[in-house]
Chains A and B, each alone.
Chain A
Amino acid sequence: MPMKPHRKKRLLAVLASVVGVAIVVTLVLYASEQKMNLFITPTEFQAGDAPKDRTFRIGGLVKEGSVVRSETSLRTEFIVTDKVADITVVYDKIMPDLFREGQGIVAMGKINEEGIFIASSVLAKHDEEYKAPEVLDALERAGHPVDRSEKKPKYIDQGQ
C-alpha cells in the first residue's frame, strides 16, 4: 500500500531531523575534542603529561626573581611554579596590568622543542587578594594548603 502523502512527509521530516542532529552532535564532539584546552600544573608538566603539539593552559605563581625582560623588544621570560616544579615561559606581547613576581597567573600556549612554554596569552589576577581557581588548584595539587575563602574574583582576560 502506498504511503499517504502526509505520512511520507512526516517520515522525511523525522529522517531529516535525525540526520541533522547527528551532524551537529558529530561536529560538536569532533571540534571540542580538537579545540579544547587542557589545564596542566607545573608538576604534571614536569612528569611529561603536557600535550606535545596542542595548545593548553598552565597555571601557578610567577617565581620570585625569575622575570627577565628584553632590552629591545617586548619579549619576557619567566618561571611559573607550583612550589614543586617549574615551567619556563616566554611571552612577547603586552603583559597584563598586574603581572608581578610572586603572583598567580594562568597562561595559554604550546611547548617548543626545548621544552619552553611559548605563551599566546597570559592572565593575571586583578585583585590583591584573589587567585584564579586554576592557580589555587595547581598549588593544592602540589601539596600546599590553600585558603579558598578569598575575596571576589575580578580578572581580565588578555585576549587569545
Chain B
Amino acid sequence: MHAEFGNYLIVLAFFVTMALAVFPMLGTFTNNMSLVGTAKPLTIILFVSLLISFSCLAYGFLVDDFTIAYVANNSNSLLPDRYKFSAVWGAHEGSLLLWVLILSGWVLAVALLGKNLPKLSYARILSVLGMISCGFVSFMLFTSNPFERTLPFFPIDGADLNPLLQDFGLIIHPPLLYMGYVGFAVSFAFAITALIEGEWNATWARWTRPWTIAAWASLTLGIMLGSWWAYYELGWGGWWFWDPSENASFLPWLSGTALMHSLAVTDKRNSFKGWTLALSLATFSLSLLGMFLIRSGVLTSVHSFASDPERGRFILIFLAIVVGAALILFLFRSGKVKTKANFSELSKDMFLLLNNILFVSATFIVLFGTLYPLLAEALGKKLSVGAPYFNAIFPIPMVVIFALLGVGPLLNWKKHNFSKLKMPLLKIAIVSLVLSLLAVWSLGEFFWWVFIGLALSLWVTISGFYGVSLATRFKKGIYAKIKSLNRSFIGMTVAHIGAVVTLAGILLTSFYSVERDLRMAVGESQEIAGYTFSMTKSEDIQKENYQATRVSFDVYQDGSKILTMKPEKRLYLASGQIMTEADIDFTLSRDLYIALGEALDRQGNVWSVRIYVKAFIRLIWLGAIIMALGGIFSILDKRYRNLRAEKVTPSQVTKTS
C-alpha cells in the first residue's frame, strides 16, 4: 500500500514539475496573471508530495517491506532501526529521492522567502527551478524508481545495507552534500531569469548571495563529513584521495567559492556582471557533471552506485540540455548586462578578480585531472591520474590565493591608498614568518611546505584580526566594537580563518604523521612516535548483525598507560562482507589510529596491523566547520533581509551596452 502511494506521489510530482516548468513561465510572457500565480501553490504541492513519498519509502524500510526491490537490496531485518532509516539514501534510487526532496525544499524556500522579488521574476525563477526538478524527477521515475516491486517472488530477508554505510557519518553526509549540490540550482535559476530579462544588477546579486552562500556552506560541511567518514570508516586513515568521486563534489565547491566572491563585487560595485552570471551557470553545471560522474558508473570507486548505461545516458543528455541552454542564453543575452570595469590595481575589486582567476584555474586543474582518464580511454589508452598529479600542481594557485588573502580584505573598493597599509602589512608578514619558523622548529623536522603553509595561515589570521581592529577603530569598548561589525564582515573573517585552519591541518598532517604497517602478535609491543602500543588480547564477539574479532592494545606514553584501544575485524552476517573497524583516540594535536589488516594465523593471535599517529588531523575538519559557520554568519546579515521589490525599478537598473 505505502509503496503504491509513494510511487503515485512521484508520478504526481513529475506532472507538477512539468506544470511548474511551463505555466508560470508562459504566464509571464502572455501577461496571464492567473498562470503566473500558479508558481507558489505548485511549489508547495511538489514539496509535500515528495516529502510524503520519501516517508513512504522510509516506512517501507522500517517495517522490512522486502516486496520493494530497493528495500530488499539495501536492508535486512537484523539491521538496527537508525540504519534502516539512513538506508533510505544508502544507494542510488533512494538517494535520488532524497536529492529531489532536498531540491524541492530549496524551491519551496525560494517561494516562501522570495515574496519581495518582482512578481514576474519570482514566477520565472520558480519556473526554471521547476524545469530542473522535472529533469531530476523524470530521471528517478524512468530509470531509477525506488518503489519497484519484487512481486510475486519477494525475498524473505533483505541483502543488507553495505556495512560501510552503517555508520553515523553516513546518516548526515549525503543530505548535507546534496543540499550543497542542488542549492547551486537556485543561483543558476536566478542567473537564467536575469538572462531572460536582460537585467542583472546589484539588487539581483544581493538576492542571489545568501542562497549561494547557504549552498556553499552545506557543500563545505558535506565534503568535510565525507572526508571524516573516509578517514575512520574505510580503515586506512586517509582524509582525501583525489578520487574522482571526491573531485566531483570539490569541483562545484571551487567554482562556487569563486562565484561567492564575484557576487560580492556585483552586489557592492555593480560590476563583474557577465562573469558572475557565467560562474552561476558553471557551478550548477559542475554539480550536474559530478552527478554524472558518480551515478553513471563511468568511474570505479567507493561511491559508484551502479553501472547502468541507461542512467549515464540520461544524465548526460540532461547535462547537455542544461549546459547547452545556459550557454546559448548566455551568448545571446549576456551582452545586455556588460559593464565597464573601473578600478585601480590596488583595490578590493582587483584582488577579488585575482581570487576568481585563481579559483577558476584550480577548478580547471581538478577538472582536467578528473576527466583526462575518461578522455584517454575514449582514445583507446588506459591510464589513471592520481594524487601525484594533483599534489604537484593544485598547491600552486592555493599558495597565491592565501598570500593575496592577507591583503585583499583590508583594501577599499575601487581604489586604495596603499601607503598607510604598507607598514602594518610588513609587520604582519614578519611576525607570521618568525612565528611559523618557531612553530616548525618546535615540531622537530623542518619542511619548506609546512613553513610556508603555517606562515600563510598566520598571515591571513593576523591580517584578519587587523582588519577587524581597523573596522572598529572608532568605537570604544569591546561590546560596542563587536556590535558595530556587520555580520557579513564577521562571516567573511571567520570563513577565511577557517580556510587557513584547514590549510595548517593539511600540511601538519601530511608532513608530521607517522604511519606503520606491522606484523604483530599478542604479547608484542611496538614503539611509534613516542607511544608504545602493546597487543594484549584477541577475542571473538557476537553482535546483532555481525560477528567480529576484537584485538586489544594498551597504549603507553612515557612509561604510563594512557588508554586501551580495541579495533575490530567484522564479518557482516547477511552480506558476508568483511569490514575493518578502526579504533581512534583523538585530541586536537594528534590522533592515535589502529586498524586491523588480516589474521596471519589460525587462532587470530597474529595480525597485520596498521598503526598511525596522525598529527593535527582534526584541524582539517575543524577548519571546514569554521568556514561553514562563517557562511552562516554572512547569511544572517541584515542587508539580505528587507530586500524590497521597489529596489528593482527600471530607473535603478543600470544598462550599459
Contact = CB atoms under 8 A, between A and B. Distances in A.
Interface of A: 6, 9, 13, 17, 20, 24, 27-28, 31-32, 34-39, 55, 57, 69, 72-74, 92-95, 97-98, 108, 126, 128, 132-134, 137, 152-160
Given A94-B595, A157-B241, 15 more contacts: A17-B357, A24-B397, A28-B365, A31-B393, A32-B369, A36-B389, A38-B381, A74-B597, A98-B578, A152-B297, A154-B302, A156-B234, A157-B234, A157-B302, A158-B236
A152 B383 contact: no
Given A20-B357, A27-B393, A32 B385 contact: yes
Nearest to B578: A97
Interface stretch (B5-13, B303-311, B458-466): B303-311
Nearest to A29: B368
A37 B243 contact: no
A35 B389 contact: yes
A52 B412 CA distance: 55
Contacts of B388: 35, 55, 160
A15 to B, nearest CB: 13
A34 B387 CA distance: 12
20 contacts: A9-B341, A20-B357, A20-B361, A31-B389, A34-B389, A34-B392, A35-B385, A37-B384, A38-B382, A94-B595, A95-B597, A126-B577, A134-B382, A152-B305, A154-B302, A155-B302, A156-B164, A157-B301, A159-B238, A160-B388
A97 B396 CA distance: 37
B389 A152 contact: no
A39 B383 contact: yes
A108 B386 CA distance: 11
A152 B305 CA distance: 7
A114 to B, nearest CB: 23
Given A73-B519, A74-B518, A98-B578, A159 B236 contact: yes
Contact of B519 (A27, A72, A133, A160): A72
Interface of B: 162, 164, 234, 236, 238, 241, 243, 297, 300-302, 304-307, 340-342, 357, 361, 364-365, 368-369, 372-373, 381-389, 392-393, 396-397, 517-519, 576-580, 595, 597-598, 600, 608-610
A109 to B, nearest CB: 12
Q: Which 8 A-B pairs have the closest CB atoms?
A: A94-B597, A39-B382, A35-B389, A35-B388, A93-B517, A31-B393, A24-B361, A97-B578
B241 A160 contact: yes
B517 A92 contact: yes
A13 B580 CA distance: 54
A17 B384 CA distance: 30
Nearest to B299: A153
Contacts of B297: 152-153
Contacts of A27: 365, 393, 396
Among the interface residues A17, A27, A32, A98, which one has the most CB atoms of the partner chain B within 10 A?
Answer: A32
Contacts of B302: 154-157
B161 to A, nearest CB: 12
A152 B307 contact: yes
B485 to A, nearest CB: 33
B404 to A, nearest CB: 14
Among the interface residues B300, B306, B389, B392, which one has the most CB atoms of the partner chain A within 10 A?
Answer: B300
Contacts of A95: 597-598, 608
